[in-house]
């Protein structure tokens, strides 16, 4: 992943909000990045851009050698379905409520022809072995959040983007989700960018990136000192 001078401006009526100002960022394959920063800093915006759900107002975004900011919509949709997994902050929005847990996983795999994880294994890894047949819409927030992570990893994505994926989980479930993300990185080379306020999560990932007021500021790789500027 490479961001070159990314600017994101939202226009609402007459007001312009500059959500990202000239963001440069390189994330290597298999890195697991915790994206930190105060509310309104631009974390979700960066995630949406990386997911191809927003087009940058300026700058370029590269994924795996492809200039995503210039792809046409059809190619972008295909790239997203095949290579990107996303966990939105609101877990229910990741899921199709009337489909079972297993069907939600299967749906995420529809565009993937290569090797992909087995639905049963994914559900087991997020602690939902017994929930395979239940409609996602009837699950608790925590269950939906865990299912959303399983769904996001179901296409063995090159890029996993997750917005506070452990916010409704207890410590044990949260740890399991983080372990699953790390395993995807280690086994499949999945690159992960995880917005989190949970220090247990950020400490377990390989690197920290902080955004403040639309700018990427202090960065650190775990194990190194990092300076807050």
List the interface residues with ligand ADP, window 127-166 (CB under 6 A): 163
CB of 170 to ligand ADP, least distance (A): 20
The correct pick among 6, 37, 86, 147 for binding ligand ADP (CB under 6 A) is 37
Cβ 25 vs Cβ 2: under 8 Å = yes
Secondary structure letter of residue 151 according to DSSP: H
- Per CB under 6 A, does 90 bind ligand ADP? yes
Cα–Cα distance, 61 to 56 (Å, whole number): 8
Q: Which two tokens stand for residue 130?
A: 């017994």
CB of 124 to ligand ADP, least distance (A): 26
Would you call 104 exposed, middle or buried from its count of C-beta atoms within 10 A (0-12, 13-18, 19+)?
buried
Helix H or strand E encompassing 221: strand 215-221
Q: Give whichever of 48 and 105 is closer to ligand ADP, judged by the CB atom.
A: 48
The correct pick among 13, 39, 72, 73 for binding ligand ADP (CB under 6 A) is 39
Q: Give whichever of 44 and 144 is closer to ligand ADP, judged by the CB atom.
A: 44
The correct pick among 10, 141, 179, 199 for binding ligand ADP (CB under 6 A) is 10
Q: Give the Cβ contact number of residue 184 at 10 Å.
A: 24
Q: Give the Cβ contact number of residue 22 at 10 Å.
A: 15
Q: Which stretch binds ligand ADP (CB under 6 A): 57-65, 89-97, 111-119, 176-184?
A: 89-97
Residues that bind ligand ADP (CB under 6 A): 10, 12, 17, 19, 37, 39-45, 48, 54, 88-90, 93, 163
């Amino acid at each position: 992943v490479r961001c070159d001078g990314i600017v994101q401006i939202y226009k609402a009526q007459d007001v312009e909000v500059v959500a990202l100002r000239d963001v440069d960022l390189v994330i290597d394959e298999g890195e697991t990045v915790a994206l930190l920063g105060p509310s309104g800093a631009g974390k979700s915006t960066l995630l949406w851009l990386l997911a191809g759900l927003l087009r940058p107002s300026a700058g370029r975004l590269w994924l795996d050698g492809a200039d995503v900011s210039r792809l046409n919509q059809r190619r972008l949709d295909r790239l997203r379905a095949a290579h990107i997994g996303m966990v939105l902050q609101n877990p229910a929005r990741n899921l199709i409520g009337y489909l079972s847990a297993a069907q939600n996983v299967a749906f995420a795999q529809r565009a993937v022809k290569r090797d992909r994880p087995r639905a049963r294994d994914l559900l087991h890894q997020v602690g939902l072995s017994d929930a395979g047949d239940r409609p996602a819409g009837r699950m608790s927030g925590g269950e939906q959040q865990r299912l959303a992570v399983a769904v996001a990893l179901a296409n063995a994505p090159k890029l996993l983007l997750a917005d506070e994926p452990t916010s409704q989980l207890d410590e044990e479930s949260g740890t399991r989700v983080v372990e699953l993300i790390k395993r995807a990185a280690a086994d499949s080379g999945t690159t992960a960018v995880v917005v989190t306020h949970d220090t247990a999560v950020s400490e377990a990932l390989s690197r920290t990136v902080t955004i403040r007021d639309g700018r990427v500021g202090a960065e650190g790789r775990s194990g190194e000192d990092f300076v807050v500027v």
